[in-house]
Amino acid sequence: GENVEQHPSTLSVQEGDSAVIKCTYSDSASNYFPWYKQELGKRPQLIIDIRSNVGEKKDQRIAVTLNKTAKHFSLHITETQPEDSAVYFCAASIRYSSASKIIFGSGTRLSIRP
Amino acid sequence: DTAVSQTPKYLVTQMGNDKSIKCEQNLGHDTMYWYKQDSKKFLKIMFSYNNKELIINETVPNRFSPKSPDKAHLNLHINSLELGDSAVYFCASSRYYEQYFGPGTRLTVT
């Protein structure tokens, strides 16, 4: 069945350093890969996404890369700041006729050390 | 101007009771979803509706019944609540790919 694996489960980096979270997916029909940030007690918020026809996308300090052949995708956060501390979820989505089924990774708890 | 809203925010109830959670979106999206987030933060899709029609129905017990009176609303009714139903339930909506989540309903079954 569909599966998304995410590593690491926890990540602690010094403020100003970079953080990298990696995911793999199993279903080759997946064609959309969103990343969500969830702060404690809050809703998951979409921070960046990438479609299957693109290899890389950047938005200010965050970037995502996608390797469809290897079924790998990654989130890169540069110049980390305290407000980046949260749980990050990768996901792989398959589009059906009128809905998208998103399979989430297990999450990475990112802590930024001052 | 809340995009996706849910009520109630917290729900504490006893085993065996029946409860409902309501969700509304004002984004004009055609598709709405219910997700369950367990104590380990794992997010799993439960249902998806498009314009009041059930599209995705994961392996969820029959005690869970979604209802969509119109495309802006998707409610979740749970019968005979069990301890294992304790979780945060998120509603979400989308037009194409991007999904936007509601604030969540923390359900505690005692």
Q: Which residues of A touch B40 (CB under 8 A)?
A: 106
Using CB atoms, pick whichever of B45, B97, B101 lies closest to residue A44. B101
Instruction: Output the six-digit token pair for A87.
Output: 């749980």
Q: Is the pLDDT score of A99 beyond 80?
A: no
Sorting pLDDT into bands at 50, 70 and 90, what band is A96? confident
Task: Identify which of A83, A114, A107 has the alpha carbon closest to the alpha carbon of residue A11.
Answer: A107
By C-alpha distance, the chain B residue nearest A42 is B103
Q: Do A99 and B99 touch (CB under 8 A)?
A: no
Sorting pLDDT into bands at 50, 70 and 90, what band is A1? low
Distance between CA atoms of B47 and B60, rounded to whole angstroms? 8
Q: Render pLDDT for B21-58 as a digit per residue (tens, 0 to 9).
A: 999 999 999 899 999 999 988 999 999 988 888 888 88
Give the model's pLDDT for residue B97: 84
Q: What are phi and psi of B30, to 5 degrees?
A: -95, -20
Q: Is the pLDDT score of A2 beyond 90?
A: no
Q: Render pLDDT for A20-56 as a digit per residue (tens, 0 to 9).
A: 999 999 999 899 999 999 999 999 999 999 998 889 9
Using CB atoms, pick whichever of A42, A44, A100 lies closest to residue B94. A100
